[in-house]
Structure 1
């Protein structure tokens, strides 16, 4: 079926309106005290902005009218940061042992002001190097994003919508 230009425009506006009415708010409680964050303030801010951006990307899958509020209370990134000789910045080494990523958070999912579900979770990706990951090796938070994707799909979306 071919849409006429007017119908196509109306469909696009309707889709944009639905996407605009769903959203996410991400807050961090004392991020400078998180278990494992880069030492550099610039790198720490970059990590927090990227985590927030990822939650925002996931929120696009929320049905219209739903809003997710996430409060992150701790992050432990995959691997361990180790100092490098004769360098000003550290390097993150991932050995695949007990250095898996974790994140502690609380959340509230609301629909038109009504709480649909809420709770506290500790996210873990213990098999982070043994799983197929859709994020590229150039993405420094690929394991954390995979972990958040799994949680979002299971806990927030459930059977509502499947992730692309």
Structure 2
């Protein structure tokens, strides 16, 4: 019995050490049903949040060992506006470049070995989203939001790897 307890304790210590050595990203969404602009249907809304979370995860892979970041998304306003489509049965997002630029409100906590080294609340936006070069393909989901997130990440957290 004593040997089993020692082995479990040792295994737990190894897990803690391994967790501290790898970068991690945690993204949460605070009341997404109240966000300014997310698709109406549940599955489309979840698809957008999943896409944004995966993008933050991808960026987080460049964090140095021992660093983790927690991001709480407070609001999202996607690029363009949704209009009902008569034949498709779902909304169509139209991008015009007027007052329809992407925006995101978030809080973040960057930690080094469990200690907060940087934190803040940010209002991300990209008013010129249609007028500048975008590194994402034309048909890629959330391409303007991803570029906006990359800009913020590069200025606030660290370099964005291509």
TM-score normalised by length of structure 2 = 0.85
TM-score normalised by length of structure 1 = 0.84
Q: Which residue of 2 aligns with 1:46?
A: 47
| Structure 1 residue 86: Cα displacement | 3.6
**Which stretches in structure 1 are left out of the alignment for 5+ residues?**
1-16
The answer to whether the Cα contact below 8 Å between 1:22 and 1:64 also exists between their aligned partners in 2 is yes
**Which stretches in structure 2 are left out of the alignment for 5+ residues?**
1-17
Rate the CA distance shift 1:89–1:162 in 2: closer, same or farther, 3 A: closer
- 1:5-57 superposed Cα distances (whole Å, 9 cap, x missing partner): xxxxxxxxxxxx79x61111000001111000001111000000000000000
Aligned-residue Cα RMSD (Å) equals 1.7
Q: Which residue of 2 aligns with 1:120?
A: 121
Rate the CA distance shift 1:136–1:162 in 2: closer, same or farther, 3 A: closer
Q: Which residue of 1 aligns with 2:60?
A: 59
The answer to whether the Cα contact below 8 Å between 1:153 and 1:163 also exists between their aligned partners in 2 is no
Runs of 4+ in structure 1 over 4 Å off: none
Number of corresponding residues: 145
Distance in 1 (alpha carbons) for counterparts of 2:139 and 2:26: 27
